[in-house]
């Protein structure tokens, strides 16, 4: 009994060409829409446009027809939205920390679902990355003390210890809740300091890898002699940098939370390499200059 094999449907080249053309047109439309948004923002932010918009907001009483012009109302509305957006961007860039209110949808939540959101901006490798969020709510409906409800902070940041230090939980004494005074501004400041220091250390390690030809791009190492076989963080917090030379030497540098190199040990076949250790610890001990100091070594 013969078994007929399933025949695969033939691909229509005309249909494939149409699909590719549709995808190309959709990508072009998306790019044009993004370009339109950018151009509209540039036009609204220009000095001449702002002068015209200010004149439209306070028109002379004799020109009553301008108030009924729909184009003027649309221009004013777009201008107000753009100004609010610019103000928000400027504040987020300058402060690094912003707060906002959130409503918890849980019907059994404390304080009718009122939640305080904290947004912490992070900067790494010359660009802003996705912000970190910390959400706080009350311990008790009758208490004004805050506690950490949810967060997106990475595990390497000591959030729990900072909360225990600056946001201590109140204790119940009879019908009253008593406890040490909380310091929410100091908690936010310390948390942001840890976040910024962590990303600074990660950025330094990434820049060292690029400088010594260990980046993800294979072409970066071409045309130069490799000095290191590996440069990588030795712990989750990136406070320990592991250095491995091509000649077999192994080093370890310890970095503080403020970006200062506390200790450095380099060991080779003949024992400790004091010259390299002094180069790593030089320059005031700042981690930002470790790449330049190692490149200057003979």
Provide CB contacts within 8 A for 139, sequence distance 6+: 110, 145, 146, 147, 169, 170, 177
Which parts of 22-169 are beta strand (E)?
97-103, 114-120, 123-124, 127-128, 132-138, 146-151
Q: What is the chain's alpha carbon radius of gyration, rounded to the nearest angstrom?
A: 29
Mean pLDDT, residues 38-65 taken together: 66
- Say how many domains are in the chain: 2
Average pLDDT score, the chain:
81
**Is position 228 within any domain?**
yes
Tell me the average pLDDT across 48-65: 60
Measured between its terminal Cα atoms, the distance across the chain in Å is 80
194 and 218 inside one domain: no
Same domain, 255 and 195: no
Has residue 32 been placed in a domain?
no
Residues 158 and 220 occupy one common structural domain: no
Angle between helices 47-57 and 70-95 (to 10 degrees): 120
Question: Are both 101 and 195 inside the same structural domain?
Answer: yes
Give domain status of residue 59, yes or no: no
Sign of the CA dihedral running 157, 158, 162, 167: positive
Residue 63's pLDDT band (cuts 50, 70, 90): very low
pTM of the model: 0.66
In a domain, 207, yes or no: no
66 is a domain residue: no
User: Would you say 97 and 84 are in contact if contact means Cβ atoms under 8 Å apart?
Assistant: no
The answer to whether residues 146 and 229 belong to one domain is no
HSE toward the beta carbon, residue 225, CA cutoff 13 A: 5
Which residue is it, tokens 């004494």? Answer: 173
**pLDDT class for 12, splitting at 50, 70, 90?**
confident
Task: Let me know whether 107 and 133 are in one domain.
Answer: yes
Residue 166 structural domain: 97-171+178-199
Q: Between these two residues, 9 and 255, which has the higher pLDDT value?
A: 255
Q: Residue 257 pLDDT more than 90?
A: no
Dump pLDDT digits (tens) for 260-274.
899 999 998 889 999
Write out the two tokens for 258: 């403020």
The answer on 136 and 195 residing in a single domain is yes
pLDDT, tens digit, 9 for 90 and up, residues 102-159: 888 887 888 788 899 999 988 777 788 889 999 999 887 777 889 999 999 999 999 9
Q: Rounded to an integer, what distance in angstroms lies between the CA atom of residue 103 and that of residue 106?
A: 9
Q: Does residue 113 sit in the same domain as residue 192? A: yes
For residue 102, being part of any structural domain is answered with yes
* Closest C-alpha among 132, 288, 133 to residue 202: 288
pLDDT by residue (tens digit) across 16-35? 888 889 989 999 999 898 88
User: Is residue 70 a part of any domain in this protein?
Assistant: no
Residue 17 within a domain: no
pLDDT greater at residue 9 or residue 266: 266
């Amino acid at each position: 009994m013969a078994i007929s094999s399933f025949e695969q449907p033939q691909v229509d080249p005309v249909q494939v060409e149409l699909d590719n053309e549709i995808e190309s047109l959709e990508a072009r439309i998306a790019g044009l829409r993004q370009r339109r948004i950018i151009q509209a923002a540039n036009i609204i932010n220009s000095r001449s446009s702002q002068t015209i918009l200010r004149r439209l907001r306070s028109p002379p009483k004799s020109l009553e027809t301008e108030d009924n012009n729909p184009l003027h109302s649309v221009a004013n509305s777009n201008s107000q939205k753009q100004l609010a957006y610019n103000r928000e961007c400027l504040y987020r860039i300058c402060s690094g920390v912003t707060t906002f209110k959130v409503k918890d949808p849980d019907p059994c939540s404390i304080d009718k679902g009122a939640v305080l959101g904290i947004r912490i901006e992070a900067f790494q490798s010359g660009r802003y990355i996705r912000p970190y969020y910390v959400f706080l709510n009350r311990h008790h409906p009758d208490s004004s003390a805050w506690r950490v409800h949810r967060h997106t902070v990475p595990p390497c940041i000591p959030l729990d210890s900072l909360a225990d230090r600056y946001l201590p939980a109140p204790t119940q004494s009879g019908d009253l809740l008593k406890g040490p005074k909380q310091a929410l501004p100091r908690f936010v400041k310390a948390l942001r300091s840890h976040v910024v220091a962590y990303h600074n250390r990660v950025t330094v390690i990434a820049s060292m890898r690029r400088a010594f030809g260990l980046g993800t791009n294979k072409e970066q190492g071409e045309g130069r002699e490799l000095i290191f076989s590996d440069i990588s963080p030795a712990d989750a917090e990136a406070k320990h940098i592991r250095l491995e030379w091509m000649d077999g030497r192994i080093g370890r540098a310890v970095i503080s939370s403020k970006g200062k190199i506390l200790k450095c040990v380099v060991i080779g076949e003949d024992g400790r390499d004091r010259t390299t250790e002094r180069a790593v610890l030089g320059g005031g001990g700042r981690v930002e200059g470790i790449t330049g100091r190692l490149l200057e070594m003979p």
